[in-house]
Amino acid sequence: MDFNLKADKAEFIQLLQSTGRDGVDDLIEYLEDGRNHFFTAPASVNHHLNSDGGLLRHSLNVCHAALKLRELVIAERPDLEPDLNKDSVIIASLLHDICKADIYVPTRKKKRDANGLMVEVDTYNVDYRNFPMGHGEKSAIMALWGGLDITQEELLAIRWHMTAWDLPFQSVEAGKNINTARDLHPLCSLVQLADGIAANLFEHDGADTNY
């Protein structure tokens, strides 16, 4: 998938600023401060959008999917419109994966090419030492640390965006929390669905079989 880092960054900032929420500018600064390199990080090492700017592109893809899904849902269920505030959809979808801003370290590794020859390629190591907190919960904390005035439902949509893929199955409490959050806040389901649509369909290239 082709993407333009500069244009993507401008769109990300414009979308966040369009919410008029307090702390947006502080958060943007935080996302590229210190060890955080949100705007140039990949979305993964071996799977979707595994190159510089991939995380930013993925975040926009999720936001685009979420905004379209919001319209679809409201067309069928107008009574849900108050639960799917547009600004909340933008904030939760753009920030759901900011936990990845500090984990990818560029490196070069040897790999076999299509002809079986060993070549050096640019790739990343994954290093969780900066803040080993988890995934959705880490994104939620980072949004707060970044200074954004963020609501409880936005935090919950970010926290539980991975659906059951990120659940410790021995924890009854975690299962009850994710179900309760989803039942209380339709925004949780919307962001979960948008993340799946972006990663599995918008970003699908048919060659991602390196599991």
Q: Which residues sit at the interface with Fe ion, rule CB under 5 A?
A: 97, 195
Do residues 109 and 121 lie in contact, with contact meaning Cβ atoms separated by under 8 Å? yes
Output 52 or 97, the one with its CB closest to Fe ion: 97
Output 19 or 44, the one with its CB closest to Fe ion: 44
- What's the min distance (Å) between Cβ of 58 and Fe ion? 6
Provide the 3-class DSSP secondary structure of residue 126: strand
Nearest to 104 by CA among 31, 37, 5: 37
Q: Which DSSP state fits 122? A: E
Provide the 3-class DSSP secondary structure of residue 106: strand
- What's the min distance (Å) between Cβ of 93 and Fe ion? 9
Dist. CA 131–CA 71, nearest whole Å: 36
Dist. CA 94–CA 56, nearest whole Å: 8
- What's the min distance (Å) between Cβ of 162 and Fe ion? 5
- What's the min distance (Å) between Cβ of 135 and Fe ion? 6
Output 97 or 154, the one with its CB closest to Fe ion: 97
- What's the min distance (Å) between Cβ of 82 and Fe ion? 26
Output 8 or 97, the one with its CB closest to Fe ion: 97
Output 119 or 164, the one with its CB closest to Fe ion: 164
Do residues 144 and 122 lie in contact, with contact meaning Cβ atoms separated by under 8 Å? no
Dist. CA 153–CA 140, nearest whole Å: 11
Alpha-carbon torsion, ordered 72, 74, 80, 81, to 10 deg:
120
